[in-house]
Structures are given as C-alpha cells and as structure tokens.
Chain A
C-alpha cells in the first residue's frame, strides 16, 4: 500500500531512530484480526436477517395458500370456525381491528397533536412541557399490557368489554408516539417562517394553523402512521378490554360488547389442536402484517419530501 518512505529524511540524523513499519501485510496479527472481525460482522448481519426471511416465508407459505387461494372471499368475510368445523374466515376480526384502531386514532391523534403544539411552540421550556415530554418518553417504554390493566380497572370493571375499552387502551399506547413525533416535526419548522407570520400581525393560533401545521404536516403524518401501525399489531392491551367475539360487531356500543380482533384471533387459534384453526391463525397473521406494512409504507411516503 505505502511504498513511499516518508521517514527517510529524519532517519539519517537521529541515531537509534527506528523506522515505523508502514507496510501492511496480509498475515500480520492485526491484519488477521481485522479480517476475522470483518467476516464475523458479515455473518452476524446475515444471521440477523434470517428471522425476518423465515417469518415472511412462513406467512406466505402457510397463510398465503388460504388468502390467495380460490376461497379468499370466504376467508376474508366468514365467521371463524368452531371446533372441528372446516372452512370459516376471519371477517369479524378484520372489522374489529380496524374499528378499534379507528377509535384509538380519533382519540389519540387530536390530543397528541395539540399536546405537541404546546411542547414545541407555546411553552417548550415550561415546567409542564418538561414534565410532559419526560413522561411521554417514559410511556413509550410502558409495557402494553399495563394499558390493558389500566383500562380494565377504569372502563371494563364498570361497563364490560367493548370496542371502546379496546380503543382507549390502544390510544394510551399511541399517544406518546404521536406526541413525540409531532413535536419533532413541529420543532423543525424554520423560525424565520414563524417570524414572518408574526411580523404581519398573526396571533399565535394563526401562525400555528396557517404556517406551522401545514409545513410540519409530512412529519406529523409519519408519526401518526407509525403509531397506527404499532397499534394495529398490539394484542396484549386488547386481551381483557375488547376480549374476543366470533361475530361481527353490530354497534359501537360501549356497554357489554366484546369485539373480535386479528391479534387475539391469532393468539386464541395458535394453541388449538385443529389444523384448520392453525392455518387460519397464519392467514390472520399475514393479513395483520399486511395492514401494519401498509401503514409503515404510508409513513415512509409522507416522510419522503423532508429529505
């Protein structure tokens, strides 16, 4: 690599000066160590990709046969089968999941964005903002099952299982994600744009509505989509808030109205000794992963113009 002898000039007049060895040899200890570690890193990187490949392969092989087969309409719309029954589908679970994620979004998105506006613009260094920001960060690491326990104590113990209880539990989990993502997006709106708006006599509300929110929208939407994707895949908080049901939800009643969801269907069917149910669990997993994936892709699309 380096045949240029840069030490030649000094070496002559300093007795005892040892020339540093600037040649790199392949079998030198440090070179070998370097190469071994590089190979190891490549192996680890490839190993880490294996689970994902395996999960996707299994989803397509075991879930795909049913979903992309001839009776896909039945799979997507029929009621789940009982015991030894053949056929059946996951219709109620799909509707239930979408309904509860919808409820959770309706609750958490407006609250989350308003809170983010306060944290990013109205009082970024106030005591309330510092506390709220810290607690939102703590909540992102909050075990999802505890959201279920909380909602059980507040809603289910009084009104029974319902899509609202499930939706509220999901909203508790979505809220910190929405707040933190929206705050970051809003904080990135350039100060001079806000200054210009203030300069022509806008109130803070007008600055926020007409300048900050439209400019920060892509970032906010990215956060919202990621929060929805996360909520759609959640199951622990639904376990004892929405429970499960084999039928379509007939109303959005908040009293004694157990609701099906894809994730609980997978959980229930995964332990059953019937091949038909296990196959449906894989199909439901594929549908669930596709739903989550759609929201993830949407998040990336919204996030793109920023780069």
Chain B
C-alpha cells in the first residue's frame, strides 16, 4: 500500500473523521425510509383486513352468522352458506395432516438420527425440499392424470367390500376428497419435515449420548428421549403444516370436485373455502362477490388463528432450548 493513511496522522487524508452535515441528513432520510418500509408491513396487514371487511360488510349484514352454518350456495336464490366448505377445508386438512405428519416426522427422524451417512442425508433433504418447490398447479395436473386413475380401483374395491363403513360410503367417480388429501399431504410434508428436523437438531448431542450410555437401543432412545424432548417443536411443525393445508388452493380446486356437500366418505367430491373462491370468483356477479368476500374473511380468520398458535408454540420451543439455561 503506497500511501497508508495511518502513516500520515494529522493530514486531511485520514479516513477517520466525523460525518459531515450532508451525510447526517442522508442518514436521517435513509432511516426514515427504512422505518416507513417496516411500517408498511403493518399497514399491509391492516389494509388487507380493512379491505376484506369492507367488501364483505354487505354480505355480513345480510346473512349474519347464518352464513357459517348455512349449507346452500345458490346465486339465483341469493342463499349463501359455507358449512360444507368449512367441513371440507377442515376434513381434507386433517387427513393431510395425519398422513403428512406421520411421514414428515418419520423423515425428520430418518435424517437426523444417524440412519444414513450425513452426505446422503443432505441429498435426501434436497429431494424433500424439491417437493416443496413444485408448483401447486403441477401437483393438480399430476393428481388428475396420475393419482386419480391410480387410486380409483383401490377406492372402488374398498367401497364394494366395506361400503357400510362411512369413510368408504360412496364409490369414486373421479375427483374427490381422497386424491385431494393425498396431494395435500405431499405438499405439507416438506414443511413438517423441515421444522421437525430443526427441533431434533436443537437437542444437545449429550442427551443422545446419555441415552445410549444407559444401554438403550436406537429406537428406545428416539421414542423415549428424543421425541419427547423435541415434542414442542414437532407440535409447531404440525400446526404450521395444518395452516399451510387450510389455505392451499389450486391443487384442491383441481382435485376435490367442488361439490357443495357434507360427507364422511373419502371418495365423495367435496369443496373447500379456498377452492370455492378460486372456482366461483372469476365469474361472480356483484352479490356473489360480497358473499365470496365474507367466505374469504372466514378463511382468513381460521388460518390466522392456526398460524398464530403454531408460531407461539415455535417461539416457546426456541425459548426453552436457547433462552434460560
């Protein structure tokens, strides 16, 4: 370095100096912009709530609480009720959570509890992450042309043999709850797996060593030590996965059959709040748009509650392991 500023102490070329007036003004302006941008997030959420509330207000005044338990959606009679959609949303999401949860947790165990070499685990983790990267419509397309033809024979066989059982009460004519819930399970699996992996990773290594030291088998250590220790993190994973499932739209709009009915049958077509919006909104008239805005508000409320619960559990887990020692 030919002219090192430190050798010329006292000269004007030193790099340490107080900020000039222009720099201070610039600083204030910049900080103001950053503050405004952070405020924008808050404003955005308020704007969403306010806008949806305002658009839905006429429908709320018209249909009131009856909207929640009404079972017909008839534009001509101007009768709107979303109970079948709420039922379909919760039913499909719970089924997806059951499947996606079991698979997600099993995969988290598989990736973190020394089943495979850690380099292979990285590869496998990438595969699971890629599942999350595939767009929802592509899963919908895959569901229509691969999954439905694949499970239809099995569904019809189950219906013929065990038709008295409510879950198999109808035959499968095409789109329905089962393919929708299966695709949904595939879509939430990466979320559940990723957050569960974090929960397992957060357990100090000495906990596992202590378990092995007492002579447990690998699975005794996993079931009696690791799983209970990671349980709150896994709970957060399940709740957030459930929230994802509730709001998922396109794959469901393509696979669930959009039928306004309440049925226990896995093979019957159903409907969800999100796919009701997707399929009715583009062609809706003014009155129906108001009702759809109300339905959007219902969906927002349900997902908001589920997500806040999930985040609270996740926060609690982090504090448990990282906060007070």
Task: Show the binding face of A for B, using Cβ within 8 Å.
Answer: 20, 22, 30-31, 33-34, 37-38, 40-42, 44-45, 47-49, 51-52, 54-55, 58-59, 62, 111-112, 114-115, 117-119, 122-123, 128-129, 131-132, 134-139, 141-146, 148-150, 152-154, 172, 175-176, 179, 199-206, 208, 229, 232-236, 239-240, 243, 263, 266-267, 270-271, 278, 281-282, 285, 288-289, 292-293, 296
Please give the number of chain B residues whose Cβ is less than 8 angstroms from any Cβ of chain A in the complex. 88
CB-CB under 8 A from B24, the residues of chain A are: 203
What residue in chain A is nearest B17 (Cβ atoms)? A201
Do A38 and B218 form a contact, CB below 8 Å, given A52-B127, A138-B308, A201-B19? Answer: yes
User: Which of B33, B135, B293, B304 lies in contact with A114, CB distance below 8 A?
Assistant: B33
Q: Is the CB of A143 within 8 A of B38?
A: no
Chain A residues with CB below 8 A from B145, complex form = 58, 62, 278
Question: Given known contacts A34-B219, A137-B311, A146-B296, is B44 in contact with A172 (CB within 8 Å)?
Answer: yes
Chain A residues with CB under 8 Å of B136's CB are: 233-236
B189 to chain A, nearest CB (A): 6
Q: Counting CB contacts under 8 A, is B1 at the interface? A: no
Query: If A117-B34, A132-B42 touch, does A235 touch B281 (CB 8 Å cutoff)?
Result: no
Interchain nearest-CB distance for A34 vs B (Å): 4
Which A residues are in CB contact (< 8 Å) with B248?
143
5 contacts between A and B (CB under 8 A): A45-B124, A139-B45, A141-B310, A145-B249, A149-B292
Whether B250 sits at the interface, judged by CB under 8 Å, is yes
One of B16, B142, B244 near A200 (C-beta < 8 A)? B16
Given A55-B139, A138-B307, CB of A201 within 8 Å of CB of B250: no
Per the bound structure, the CA–CA distance linking A38 and B222 in Å amounts to 11
Q: Is B34 in contact with A143, judged by CB distance below 8 angstroms?
A: no
Bound CA–CA A51/B138 (angstroms):
12
> Most chain-A Cβ atoms within 10 A of its Cβ — which of B115, B140, B244, B306?
B140
Of B45, B110, B243, B254, the residue contacting A141 (CB under 8 A) is B243
B103 within 8 A of A: yes
Question: Which of A123, A206, A289 is within 8 Å of B135, CB to CB?
Answer: A289
Interfacial chain B residues near A115, Cβ < 8 Å: 34, 37-38, 40-41
Neighbouring B residues of A281 by C-beta, 8 Å? 141
Footprint of A on B, CB under 8 Å? 15-19, 23-24, 26-27, 30-31, 33-42, 44-45, 47-48, 51-52, 54-55, 102-103, 106-107, 109-110, 115, 124, 127-128, 130-131, 133-142, 144-146, 186, 189, 215, 217-220, 240, 243-244, 246-250, 253-254, 274, 277-278, 281-282, 292-293, 296, 299-300, 303-304, 306-308, 310-311
CB distance from B250 to the nearest CB of A (A): 5
Known A149-B293, A153-B55: A58·B299 in contact at CB below 8 Å:
no
Pairwise interchain contact B281-A152, C-beta atoms closer than 8 A: yes
Contact check, B16 vs A201: say whether CB atoms are below 8 A apart.
yes
Residues on B with beta carbons closer than 8 Å to the beta carbon of A179: 41
Question: In whole angstroms, how far apart are the Cα atoms of A62 and B144 in the complex?
Answer: 14
Whole-angstrom CA separation of A134 from B45 in the bound complex: 11
Known contacts A41-B110, A42-B115, A146-B300; A51 and B135 CB within 8 A of each other: no
| Pairwise interchain contact A267-B140, C-beta atoms closer than 8 A | yes
In-complex Cβ contact of A111 among B37, B54, B247, B253 (8 A): B37
| CB closest residue in chain A, given B102 | A44
